[in-house]
Structure 1
Protein backbone atom coordinates (compact mmCIF):
# COMPACT_ATOMS: atom_id res chain seq x y z
CA UNK A 1 0.00 0.00 0.00
CA UNK A 2 1.23 3.44 -0.86
CA UNK A 3 -1.44 5.50 0.91
CA UNK A 4 -0.09 8.30 3.09
CA UNK A 5 3.15 10.25 3.03
CA UNK A 6 6.76 9.57 3.92
CA UNK A 7 8.33 10.60 7.21
CA UNK A 8 10.07 13.51 5.47
CA UNK A 9 6.79 14.79 4.07
CA UNK A 10 5.04 14.28 7.40
CA UNK A 11 7.74 16.27 9.19
CA UNK A 12 7.49 19.08 6.65
CA UNK A 13 3.70 19.23 6.91
CA UNK A 14 3.89 19.37 10.73
CA UNK A 15 6.67 21.94 10.78
CA UNK A 16 9.28 19.77 12.53
CA UNK A 17 12.36 17.82 11.55
CA UNK A 18 12.57 14.13 10.76
CA UNK A 19 14.73 13.76 13.86
CA UNK A 20 11.93 15.28 15.95
CA UNK A 21 9.36 12.87 14.48
CA UNK A 22 11.58 9.94 15.38
CA UNK A 23 12.02 11.38 18.88
CA UNK A 24 8.24 11.55 19.25
CA UNK A 25 8.07 7.90 18.18
CA UNK A 26 10.72 6.96 20.73
CA UNK A 27 8.77 8.67 23.52
CA UNK A 28 5.56 6.98 22.43
CA UNK A 29 3.83 10.27 21.66
CA UNK A 30 3.12 9.37 18.03
CA UNK A 31 2.57 5.77 16.95
CA UNK A 32 4.86 4.52 14.22
CA UNK A 33 2.80 3.67 11.12
CA UNK A 34 3.14 0.38 9.31
CA UNK A 35 5.54 0.01 6.40
CA UNK A 36 4.30 -0.40 2.86
CA UNK A 37 5.41 -3.06 0.40
CA UNK A 38 8.51 -1.01 -0.42
CA UNK A 39 9.58 -0.93 3.21
CA UNK A 40 8.72 2.73 3.81
CA UNK A 41 6.54 3.95 6.65
CA UNK A 42 3.49 5.80 5.39
CA UNK A 43 1.89 8.47 7.56
CA UNK A 44 -1.86 8.76 7.22
CA UNK A 45 -4.22 11.45 8.47
CA UNK A 46 -4.37 10.00 12.02
CA UNK A 47 -0.61 10.07 12.45
CA UNK A 48 -0.37 13.54 10.94
CA UNK A 49 -3.09 14.86 13.26
CA UNK A 50 -1.31 13.41 16.29
CA UNK A 51 2.00 14.79 15.12
CA UNK A 52 0.55 18.29 14.72
CA UNK A 53 -1.12 18.07 18.15
CA UNK A 54 2.14 17.08 19.84
CA UNK A 55 4.10 19.77 18.04
CA UNK A 56 1.50 22.41 18.95
CA UNK A 57 1.50 21.53 22.63
CA UNK A 58 5.31 21.42 22.69
CA UNK A 59 5.48 24.84 21.06
CA UNK A 60 3.06 26.13 23.70
CA UNK A 61 5.46 25.07 26.42
CA UNK A 62 3.91 21.79 27.51
CA UNK A 63 6.68 19.37 28.57
CA UNK A 64 6.86 16.32 26.34
CA UNK A 65 6.48 14.08 29.39
CA UNK A 66 3.02 15.59 29.94
CA UNK A 67 1.94 15.75 26.31
CA UNK A 68 0.81 12.14 25.94
CA UNK A 69 -1.44 12.04 29.02
CA UNK A 70 -2.79 15.47 28.09
CA UNK A 71 -3.84 14.38 24.59
CA UNK A 72 -5.37 11.20 25.95
CA UNK A 73 -7.34 12.98 28.67
CA UNK A 74 -11.05 13.70 28.53
CA UNK A 75 -12.31 17.26 28.02
CA UNK A 76 -12.44 18.35 31.72
CA UNK A 77 -8.97 16.97 32.45
CA UNK A 78 -7.61 18.51 29.27
CA UNK A 79 -8.95 21.94 30.26
CA UNK A 80 -7.56 21.65 33.79
CA UNK A 81 -4.19 20.55 32.48
CA UNK A 82 -4.04 23.47 30.08
CA UNK A 83 -4.80 25.86 32.94
CA UNK A 84 -1.90 24.40 34.89
CA UNK A 85 0.42 24.76 31.93
CA UNK A 86 -0.75 28.34 31.54
CA UNK A 87 0.22 29.07 35.14
CA UNK A 88 3.62 27.47 34.60
CA UNK A 89 4.18 29.63 31.55
CA UNK A 90 3.17 32.74 33.47
CA UNK A 91 5.78 31.91 36.10
CA UNK A 92 8.40 31.34 33.45
CA UNK A 93 7.55 34.65 31.79
CA UNK A 94 7.99 36.45 35.11
CA UNK A 95 11.34 34.74 35.61
CA UNK A 96 12.47 35.71 32.12
CA UNK A 97 11.39 39.31 32.66
CA UNK A 98 13.42 39.39 35.87
CA UNK A 99 16.42 38.02 34.01
CA UNK A 100 16.02 40.68 31.36
CA UNK A 101 15.81 43.35 34.05
CA UNK A 102 19.03 41.98 35.54
CA UNK A 103 20.72 42.19 32.13
CA UNK A 104 19.63 45.81 31.86
CA UNK A 105 21.03 46.52 35.32
CA UNK A 106 24.34 45.03 34.20
CA UNK A 107 24.78 48.19 32.15
CA UNK A 108 25.42 49.71 35.57
CA UNK A 109 27.61 47.10 37.24
CA UNK A 110 26.96 48.51 40.70
CA UNK A 111 23.19 48.17 40.55
CA UNK A 112 23.37 44.59 39.31
CA UNK A 113 24.94 43.41 42.57
CA UNK A 114 24.29 46.08 45.18
CA UNK A 115 21.21 47.86 46.56
CA UNK A 116 20.51 51.48 45.64
CA UNK A 117 21.74 52.74 49.01
CA UNK A 118 25.17 51.18 48.46
CA UNK A 119 25.35 52.55 44.91
CA UNK A 120 24.50 56.04 46.14
CA UNK A 121 27.30 55.88 48.71
CA UNK A 122 29.81 54.65 46.15
CA UNK A 123 28.88 57.54 43.89
CA UNK A 124 29.78 59.97 46.69
CA UNK A 125 33.28 58.58 47.24
CA UNK A 126 35.08 60.37 44.37
CA UNK A 127 33.91 63.77 45.62
CA UNK A 128 35.28 62.85 49.06
CA UNK A 129 38.73 62.29 47.60
CA UNK A 130 38.85 58.55 46.93
CA UNK A 131 40.36 57.35 43.67
CA UNK A 132 38.67 55.18 41.08
CA UNK A 133 40.71 52.16 42.23
CA UNK A 134 39.72 52.74 45.84
CA UNK A 135 36.05 52.97 44.92
CA UNK A 136 36.37 49.75 42.92
CA UNK A 137 37.95 48.03 45.92
CA UNK A 138 35.09 49.21 48.13
CA UNK A 139 32.59 47.89 45.60
CA UNK A 140 34.18 44.45 45.58
CA UNK A 141 34.25 44.30 49.36
CA UNK A 142 30.61 45.32 49.61
CA UNK A 143 29.47 42.74 47.05
CA UNK A 144 31.13 40.02 49.10
CA UNK A 145 29.76 41.43 52.35
CA UNK A 146 26.21 41.54 51.01
CA UNK A 147 26.47 37.96 49.79
CA UNK A 148 28.02 36.54 52.96
CA UNK A 149 26.31 38.64 55.66
CA UNK A 150 23.06 39.85 54.05
CA UNK A 151 21.23 40.20 57.35
CA UNK A 152 23.48 43.03 58.52
CA UNK A 153 24.35 44.78 55.28
CA UNK A 154 21.63 47.46 55.24
CA UNK A 155 22.42 48.54 58.80
CA UNK A 156 26.12 48.54 57.98
CA UNK A 157 25.49 50.98 55.13
CA UNK A 158 23.75 53.33 57.57
CA UNK A 159 26.87 53.32 59.77
CA UNK A 160 29.06 54.02 56.74
CA UNK A 161 26.85 56.92 55.66
CA UNK A 162 27.10 58.47 59.11
CA UNK A 163 30.88 58.02 59.06
CA UNK A 164 31.11 60.08 55.88
CA UNK A 165 30.17 63.11 57.98
CA UNK A 166 33.17 62.59 60.28
CA UNK A 167 36.02 64.66 58.84
CA UNK A 168 38.66 63.06 61.08
CA UNK A 169 37.51 59.60 60.11
CA UNK A 170 37.67 60.49 56.43
CA UNK A 171 41.17 61.92 56.84
CA UNK A 172 42.35 58.72 58.50
CA UNK A 173 40.64 56.67 55.82
CA UNK A 174 42.46 58.52 53.06
CA UNK A 175 45.75 58.02 54.87
CA UNK A 176 44.97 54.33 55.14
CA UNK A 177 44.28 54.26 51.40
CA UNK A 178 47.62 55.93 50.71
CA UNK A 179 49.42 53.45 52.97
CA UNK A 180 48.74 50.66 50.50
CA UNK A 181 51.62 52.04 48.41
CA UNK A 182 54.05 52.16 51.35
CA UNK A 183 56.63 49.54 52.25
CA UNK A 184 55.31 47.01 54.80
CA UNK A 185 57.91 48.09 57.39
CA UNK A 186 57.27 51.83 56.98
CA UNK A 187 57.23 53.34 60.50
CA UNK A 188 54.26 55.51 59.57
CA UNK A 189 52.07 52.39 59.58
CA UNK A 190 52.39 51.98 63.35
CA UNK A 191 51.39 55.58 63.99
CA UNK A 192 48.47 55.36 61.60
CA UNK A 193 47.26 52.11 63.17
CA UNK A 194 47.27 53.73 66.59
CA UNK A 195 45.37 56.75 65.31
CA UNK A 196 42.74 54.59 63.61
CA UNK A 197 42.23 52.35 66.62
CA UNK A 198 42.05 55.32 68.98
CA UNK A 199 39.43 57.00 66.79
CA UNK A 200 37.32 53.86 66.70
CA UNK A 201 37.51 53.44 70.45
CA UNK A 202 36.74 57.10 71.11
CA UNK A 203 33.70 57.01 68.83
CA UNK A 204 31.59 53.88 69.42
CA UNK A 205 29.34 54.81 66.53
CA UNK A 206 32.32 54.41 64.18
CA UNK A 207 33.27 51.13 65.81
CA UNK A 208 29.98 49.69 64.54
CA UNK A 209 31.54 49.70 61.07
CA UNK A 210 34.01 47.14 62.39
CA UNK A 211 31.59 45.08 64.45
CA UNK A 212 28.32 45.49 62.55
CA UNK A 213 28.94 42.85 59.89
CA UNK A 214 29.84 39.91 62.09
CA UNK A 215 27.88 36.93 60.82
CA UNK A 216 25.79 34.87 63.18
CA UNK A 217 27.32 31.62 61.93
CA UNK A 218 30.79 30.75 60.65
CA UNK A 219 31.85 34.25 61.63
CA UNK A 220 35.60 33.77 61.25
CA UNK A 221 35.27 32.02 57.89
CA UNK A 222 32.98 34.65 56.40
CA UNK A 223 35.13 37.40 57.90
CA UNK A 224 38.24 36.09 56.17
CA UNK A 225 36.51 35.52 52.83
CA UNK A 226 35.43 39.14 52.72
CA UNK A 227 38.31 40.86 54.45
CA UNK A 228 41.14 38.93 52.80
CA UNK A 229 39.89 39.50 49.26
CA UNK A 230 42.80 40.74 47.14
CA UNK A 231 45.03 41.28 50.15
CA UNK A 232 48.15 39.91 48.44
CA UNK A 233 48.40 43.08 46.37
CA UNK A 234 48.93 45.33 49.39
CA UNK A 235 51.18 43.91 52.13
CA UNK A 236 51.50 47.34 53.79
CA UNK A 237 47.73 47.58 54.06
CA UNK A 238 47.73 44.08 55.51
CA UNK A 239 50.20 45.07 58.20
CA UNK A 240 48.22 48.21 59.01
CA UNK A 241 45.10 46.13 59.37
CA UNK A 242 46.66 43.54 61.67
CA UNK A 243 47.97 46.31 63.92
CA UNK A 244 44.57 47.98 64.11
CA UNK A 245 42.93 44.62 64.84
CA UNK A 246 45.43 43.89 67.60
CA UNK A 247 44.79 47.24 69.27
CA UNK A 248 41.02 46.82 69.07
CA UNK A 249 41.16 43.28 70.43
CA UNK A 250 43.38 44.45 73.28
CA UNK A 251 40.68 46.97 74.11
CA UNK A 252 38.06 44.22 74.25
CA UNK A 253 36.51 44.64 70.80
CA UNK A 254 35.30 41.31 69.40
CA UNK A 255 36.79 40.62 65.99
CA UNK A 256 36.79 37.07 64.50
CA UNK A 257 40.15 35.44 65.08
CA UNK A 258 42.83 34.83 62.51
CA UNK A 259 44.20 31.45 61.52
CA UNK A 260 47.69 32.49 60.42
CA UNK A 261 50.58 31.29 62.63
CA UNK A 262 51.62 33.94 65.15
CA UNK A 263 55.28 33.55 64.15
CA UNK A 264 54.78 34.93 60.65
CA UNK A 265 56.72 38.17 60.07
CA UNK A 266 54.52 41.27 60.33
CA UNK A 267 55.45 42.35 56.80
CA UNK A 268 53.83 39.21 55.35
CA UNK A 269 50.63 39.27 57.38
CA UNK A 270 47.40 39.51 55.42
CA UNK A 271 44.57 40.93 57.48
CA UNK A 272 41.21 42.59 57.02
CA UNK A 273 41.39 46.29 56.32
CA UNK A 274 40.18 48.59 59.10
CA UNK A 275 36.53 49.41 59.02
CA UNK A 276 33.69 46.96 58.63
CA UNK A 277 36.00 44.16 59.63
CA UNK A 278 37.80 44.75 56.37
CA UNK A 279 34.59 45.07 54.39
CA UNK A 280 34.65 48.79 53.78
CA UNK A 281 37.78 49.18 51.74
CA UNK A 282 36.62 52.43 50.18
CA UNK A 283 35.67 54.28 53.34
CA UNK A 284 38.34 53.00 55.68
CA UNK A 285 41.14 51.36 53.81
CA UNK A 286 40.62 52.40 50.26
CA UNK A 287 42.93 49.71 48.90
CA UNK A 288 43.00 45.97 49.17
Structure 2
Protein backbone atom coordinates (compact mmCIF):
# COMPACT_ATOMS: atom_id res chain seq x y z
CA UNK A 1 0.00 0.00 0.00
CA UNK A 2 1.41 3.39 -1.00
CA UNK A 3 2.10 5.84 1.80
CA UNK A 4 1.29 9.52 1.51
CA UNK A 5 -1.53 11.36 -0.18
CA UNK A 6 -2.29 12.60 -3.69
CA UNK A 7 -1.65 16.17 -4.82
CA UNK A 8 -5.35 16.94 -4.55
CA UNK A 9 -5.46 15.70 -0.97
CA UNK A 10 -2.25 17.54 -0.11
CA UNK A 11 -3.65 20.80 -1.47
CA UNK A 12 -6.88 20.34 0.50
CA UNK A 13 -5.01 19.55 3.73
CA UNK A 14 -2.75 22.60 3.39
CA UNK A 15 -5.53 24.93 2.29
CA UNK A 16 -4.36 25.86 -1.19
CA UNK A 17 -5.24 24.82 -4.73
CA UNK A 18 -3.62 22.12 -6.82
CA UNK A 19 -2.56 24.87 -9.22
CA UNK A 20 -0.75 26.64 -6.36
CA UNK A 21 0.99 23.42 -5.32
CA UNK A 22 2.28 22.95 -8.84
CA UNK A 23 3.37 26.58 -8.98
CA UNK A 24 5.32 26.12 -5.74
CA UNK A 25 7.04 23.13 -7.27
CA UNK A 26 7.81 24.98 -10.48
CA UNK A 27 9.53 27.91 -8.73
CA UNK A 28 11.31 25.73 -6.21
CA UNK A 29 9.41 26.57 -3.02
CA UNK A 30 8.56 22.97 -2.23
CA UNK A 31 10.22 19.77 -3.42
CA UNK A 32 8.17 17.61 -5.72
CA UNK A 33 7.88 14.04 -4.40
CA UNK A 34 9.00 11.06 -6.46
CA UNK A 35 6.41 8.91 -8.19
CA UNK A 36 5.49 5.63 -6.55
CA UNK A 37 5.31 2.24 -8.26
CA UNK A 38 1.87 3.06 -9.68
CA UNK A 39 3.17 6.25 -11.26
CA UNK A 40 1.55 8.69 -8.84
CA UNK A 41 3.30 11.32 -6.74
CA UNK A 42 2.60 10.80 -3.05
CA UNK A 43 2.96 13.59 -0.52
CA UNK A 44 4.29 12.65 2.87
CA UNK A 45 4.64 14.74 6.02
CA UNK A 46 7.90 16.36 4.87
CA UNK A 47 6.38 17.60 1.62
CA UNK A 48 3.26 18.81 3.44
CA UNK A 49 5.45 20.70 5.91
CA UNK A 50 7.18 22.55 3.05
CA UNK A 51 3.83 23.43 1.51
CA UNK A 52 2.49 24.72 4.84
CA UNK A 53 5.61 26.84 5.39
CA UNK A 54 5.46 28.31 1.88
CA UNK A 55 1.74 29.02 2.14
CA UNK A 56 2.11 30.68 5.56
CA UNK A 57 4.94 32.96 4.45
CA UNK A 58 3.14 33.89 1.23
CA UNK A 59 -0.03 34.71 3.15
CA UNK A 60 2.04 36.92 5.49
CA UNK A 61 3.15 39.01 2.53
CA UNK A 62 6.61 37.60 1.91
CA UNK A 63 7.35 37.80 -1.85
CA UNK A 64 7.48 34.35 -3.44
CA UNK A 65 10.99 35.00 -4.74
CA UNK A 66 12.20 35.38 -1.14
CA UNK A 67 10.43 32.39 0.37
CA UNK A 68 12.81 29.73 -0.97
CA UNK A 69 15.98 31.21 0.57
CA UNK A 70 14.05 32.10 3.72
CA UNK A 71 13.07 28.48 4.35
CA UNK A 72 16.75 27.56 4.49
CA UNK A 73 17.91 30.70 6.36
CA UNK A 74 19.36 30.76 9.86
CA UNK A 75 17.21 32.26 12.65
CA UNK A 76 18.80 35.74 12.43
CA UNK A 77 18.33 36.02 8.68
CA UNK A 78 14.78 34.68 9.03
CA UNK A 79 13.93 37.30 11.67
CA UNK A 80 15.49 40.12 9.62
CA UNK A 81 13.51 39.19 6.54
CA UNK A 82 10.28 39.02 8.49
CA UNK A 83 11.00 42.45 10.00
CA UNK A 84 11.52 43.87 6.51
CA UNK A 85 8.26 42.36 5.30
CA UNK A 86 6.49 43.76 8.35
CA UNK A 87 7.76 47.23 7.48
CA UNK A 88 6.53 46.87 3.92
CA UNK A 89 3.11 45.76 5.15
CA UNK A 90 2.96 48.71 7.55
CA UNK A 91 3.66 51.09 4.67
CA UNK A 92 1.04 49.34 2.58
CA UNK A 93 -1.52 49.62 5.38
CA UNK A 94 -0.83 53.36 5.64
CA UNK A 95 -1.27 53.73 1.88
CA UNK A 96 -4.54 51.80 1.89
CA UNK A 97 -5.79 53.81 4.87
CA UNK A 98 -5.06 57.04 2.99
CA UNK A 99 -6.94 55.71 -0.05
CA UNK A 100 -9.90 54.77 2.12
CA UNK A 101 -9.91 58.24 3.66
CA UNK A 102 -9.90 59.75 0.18
CA UNK A 103 -12.91 57.62 -0.76
CA UNK A 104 -14.71 58.86 2.32
CA UNK A 105 -13.91 62.43 1.35
CA UNK A 106 -15.10 61.80 -2.20
CA UNK A 107 -18.43 60.71 -0.79
CA UNK A 108 -18.55 64.05 0.99
CA UNK A 109 -18.16 66.12 -2.18
CA UNK A 110 -15.61 68.93 -2.07
CA UNK A 111 -13.51 67.39 0.67
CA UNK A 112 -11.65 65.04 -1.66
CA UNK A 113 -9.99 67.94 -3.48
CA UNK A 114 -10.05 70.78 -0.98
CA UNK A 115 -9.03 71.16 2.67
CA UNK A 116 -11.69 71.55 5.34
CA UNK A 117 -11.06 75.27 5.62
CA UNK A 118 -11.86 75.88 1.96
CA UNK A 119 -14.96 73.70 2.20
CA UNK A 120 -16.15 75.70 5.21
CA UNK A 121 -15.87 78.93 3.20
CA UNK A 122 -17.87 77.40 0.35
CA UNK A 123 -20.48 76.23 2.84
CA UNK A 124 -20.91 79.82 4.07
CA UNK A 125 -21.68 81.28 0.66
CA UNK A 126 -25.34 80.22 0.17
CA UNK A 127 -26.37 81.91 3.42
CA UNK A 128 -24.76 85.15 2.19
CA UNK A 129 -26.90 85.13 -0.94
CA UNK A 130 -24.64 83.37 -3.44
CA UNK A 131 -26.38 80.95 -5.78
CA UNK A 132 -25.33 77.38 -6.58
CA UNK A 133 -23.72 78.31 -9.92
CA UNK A 134 -21.46 80.88 -8.26
CA UNK A 135 -20.53 78.49 -5.45
CA UNK A 136 -19.72 75.76 -8.01
CA UNK A 137 -17.53 78.16 -9.98
CA UNK A 138 -15.72 79.22 -6.80
CA UNK A 139 -15.19 75.57 -5.87
CA UNK A 140 -13.61 74.87 -9.24
CA UNK A 141 -11.44 77.98 -8.99
CA UNK A 142 -10.24 76.92 -5.52
CA UNK A 143 -9.35 73.46 -6.80
CA UNK A 144 -7.33 74.97 -9.65
CA UNK A 145 -5.65 77.50 -7.35
CA UNK A 146 -4.64 74.86 -4.85
CA UNK A 147 -3.13 72.67 -7.56
CA UNK A 148 -1.38 75.38 -9.58
CA UNK A 149 -0.32 77.95 -6.96
CA UNK A 150 -0.03 75.92 -3.74
CA UNK A 151 2.36 78.41 -2.12
CA UNK A 152 -0.25 81.16 -2.37
CA UNK A 153 -3.32 79.09 -1.54
CA UNK A 154 -3.50 79.77 2.20
CA UNK A 155 -3.12 83.49 1.57
CA UNK A 156 -5.92 83.30 -0.98
CA UNK A 157 -8.14 81.62 1.61
CA UNK A 158 -7.21 84.32 4.11
CA UNK A 159 -8.43 87.01 1.73
CA UNK A 160 -11.57 85.09 0.82
CA UNK A 161 -12.41 84.55 4.49
CA UNK A 162 -11.83 88.23 5.21
CA UNK A 163 -14.03 89.17 2.26
CA UNK A 164 -16.93 86.98 3.36
CA UNK A 165 -16.77 88.70 6.75
CA UNK A 166 -17.12 92.12 5.11
CA UNK A 167 -20.65 93.19 4.12
CA UNK A 168 -19.20 95.61 1.53
CA UNK A 169 -17.27 92.83 -0.23
CA UNK A 170 -20.30 90.53 -0.23
CA UNK A 171 -22.51 93.32 -1.59
CA UNK A 172 -20.02 94.18 -4.35
CA UNK A 173 -19.66 90.54 -5.34
CA UNK A 174 -23.43 90.05 -5.47
CA UNK A 175 -23.64 93.23 -7.54
CA UNK A 176 -21.03 91.79 -9.92
CA UNK A 177 -23.16 88.66 -10.30
CA UNK A 178 -26.17 90.82 -11.05
CA UNK A 179 -24.09 92.62 -13.70
CA UNK A 180 -23.86 89.43 -15.75
CA UNK A 181 -27.29 90.34 -17.07
CA UNK A 182 -26.23 93.82 -18.17
CA UNK A 183 -25.26 94.88 -21.68
CA UNK A 184 -21.51 95.02 -22.42
CA UNK A 185 -21.63 98.82 -22.81
CA UNK A 186 -23.71 99.43 -19.69
CA UNK A 187 -22.11 102.44 -17.91
CA UNK A 188 -22.77 100.78 -14.56
CA UNK A 189 -19.93 98.37 -15.34
CA UNK A 190 -17.40 101.20 -15.12
CA UNK A 191 -18.93 102.37 -11.85
CA UNK A 192 -18.86 98.86 -10.40
CA UNK A 193 -15.26 98.31 -11.54
CA UNK A 194 -14.28 101.54 -9.78
CA UNK A 195 -15.98 100.39 -6.59
CA UNK A 196 -14.27 96.98 -6.75
CA UNK A 197 -10.86 98.56 -7.37
CA UNK A 198 -11.34 100.99 -4.50
CA UNK A 199 -12.25 98.12 -2.20
CA UNK A 200 -9.08 96.22 -3.20
CA UNK A 201 -6.97 99.32 -2.58
CA UNK A 202 -8.47 99.90 0.85
CA UNK A 203 -8.43 96.29 2.05
CA UNK A 204 -5.17 94.86 0.69
CA UNK A 205 -3.30 96.67 -2.08
CA UNK A 206 -0.63 93.92 -2.09
CA UNK A 207 -3.08 91.05 -2.34
CA UNK A 208 -2.16 90.21 -5.94
CA UNK A 209 1.58 90.06 -5.35
CA UNK A 210 1.72 86.23 -5.13
CA UNK A 211 -0.42 85.96 -8.23
CA UNK A 212 1.87 88.34 -10.09
CA UNK A 213 4.62 85.76 -9.77
CA UNK A 214 2.28 83.17 -11.26
CA UNK A 215 0.55 85.16 -13.97
CA UNK A 216 0.00 82.21 -16.33
CA UNK A 217 -1.72 80.23 -13.59
CA UNK A 218 -3.73 83.28 -12.59
CA UNK A 219 -5.04 83.77 -16.10
CA UNK A 220 -6.12 80.14 -16.37
CA UNK A 221 -7.92 80.29 -13.04
CA UNK A 222 -9.41 83.73 -13.51
CA UNK A 223 -10.71 82.96 -17.00
CA UNK A 224 -12.28 79.67 -15.92
CA UNK A 225 -15.89 79.70 -17.16
CA UNK A 226 -15.20 83.03 -18.83
CA UNK A 227 -16.99 81.86 -21.95
CA UNK A 228 -20.06 81.35 -19.80
CA UNK A 229 -19.86 84.84 -18.24
CA UNK A 230 -18.40 87.36 -20.71
CA UNK A 231 -19.65 90.33 -18.66
CA UNK A 232 -17.73 89.04 -15.66
CA UNK A 233 -14.59 88.90 -17.80
CA UNK A 234 -15.12 92.49 -18.91
CA UNK A 235 -15.71 93.60 -15.33
CA UNK A 236 -12.48 91.92 -14.23
CA UNK A 237 -10.55 93.64 -17.03
CA UNK A 238 -11.98 97.04 -16.08
CA UNK A 239 -11.17 96.48 -12.41
CA UNK A 240 -7.61 95.40 -13.14
CA UNK A 241 -7.10 98.39 -15.41
CA UNK A 242 -8.07 100.71 -12.55
CA UNK A 243 -5.74 98.90 -10.17
CA UNK A 244 -2.85 99.26 -12.62
CA UNK A 245 -3.67 102.93 -13.03
CA UNK A 246 -3.36 103.23 -9.22
CA UNK A 247 0.09 101.66 -9.36
CA UNK A 248 -0.86 98.16 -8.28
CA UNK A 249 0.78 95.44 -10.30
CA UNK A 250 -1.71 92.81 -11.42
CA UNK A 251 -0.93 89.36 -12.85
CA UNK A 252 -1.91 90.44 -16.33
CA UNK A 253 -0.08 93.69 -16.49
Category of TM-score, reference length = shorter chain: 0.7 to 0.9
In 1: Cα distance, 2:212 partner to 2:22 partner: 58
Question: Which residue of structure 1 lines up, in the alignment, with residue 67 of structure 2?
Answer: 67
In 2: Cα distance, 1:64 partner to 1:214 partner: 55
Question: When you count helix as a share of all residues, which structure comes out higher?
Answer: 2
> Does the aligned pair in 2 maintain the 1:61–1:85 contact within 8 Å?
yes
Pairwise CA distance, 1:214: 5.1
The equivalent position to 2:233 in structure 1, one of 221, 234, 238, is 238
From the superposition, tell whether residues 80 and 232 of structure 1 become closer, same or farther in structure 2 (CA, over 3 Å). Answer: same
Superimposed CA distance per residue, residues 192-229 of structure 1 (whole angstroms, 9 cap, x where no aligned partner): 333322332x3151651x444455xxx23322343333
Pairwise CA distance, 1:74: 0.6
SS at match of 2:204: helix
- Structure scoring higher RCO (CA < 8 A, sep ≥ 6) equals 1
> Does the aligned pair in 1 maintain the 2:169–2:199 contact within 8 Å?
yes
In 2: Cα distance, 1:39 partner to 1:241 partner: 87
Pairwise CA distance, 1:59: 1.3
What is the 5 A alignment of 1:132-211?
Answer: 132-182=132-182, 184=184, 186-200=186-200, 202-205=201-204, 208=207, 210-211=208-209
The equivalent position to 2:250 in structure 1, one of 250, 255, 264, is 255
Q: TM-score, normalised by structure 1?
A: 0.74
Superimposed CA distance per residue, residues 114-166 of structure 1 (whole angstroms, 9 cap, x where no aligned partner): 22322222222122111122222212211221222222222222222222233
Q: Is residue 227 from structure 1 mapped to residue 226 from structure 2 by the alignment? A: no
From the superposition, tell whether residues 255 and 78 of structure 1 become closer, same or farther in structure 2 (CA, over 3 Å). Answer: same
Of 62-71 and 23-32, deviating more is 23-32
SS at match of 2:250: coil
From the superposition, tell whether residues 157 and 41 of structure 1 become closer, same or farther in structure 2 (CA, over 3 Å). Answer: same
**Matched positions, count:** 253
In 1: Cα distance, 2:31 partner to 2:187 partner: 85
SS at match of 1:203: helix
From the superposition, tell whether residues 156 and 40 of structure 1 become closer, same or farther in structure 2 (CA, over 3 Å). Answer: same
Superimposed CA distance per residue, residues 71-90 of structure 1 (whole angstroms, 9 cap, x where no aligned partner): 22111111222222223223
Q: Is residue 6 from structure 1 mapped to residue 1 from structure 2 by the alignment? A: no
Question: Which residue of structure 1 lines up, in the alignment, with residue 94 of structure 2?
Answer: 94
Alpha-carbon RMSD: 2.9
SS at match of 1:106: helix
In 2: Cα distance, 1:241 partner to 1:117 partner: 26
> Does the aligned pair in 2 maintain the 1:159–1:206 contact within 8 Å?
no
Show structure 1 runs of 5+ residues with no match: 259-288
> Does the aligned pair in 2 maintain the 1:148–1:222 contact within 8 Å?
yes
In 2: Cα distance, 1:164 partner to 1:237 partner: 19
In 2: Cα distance, 1:36 partner to 1:186 partner: 99
> Does the aligned pair in 2 maintain the 1:58–1:67 contact within 8 Å?
yes
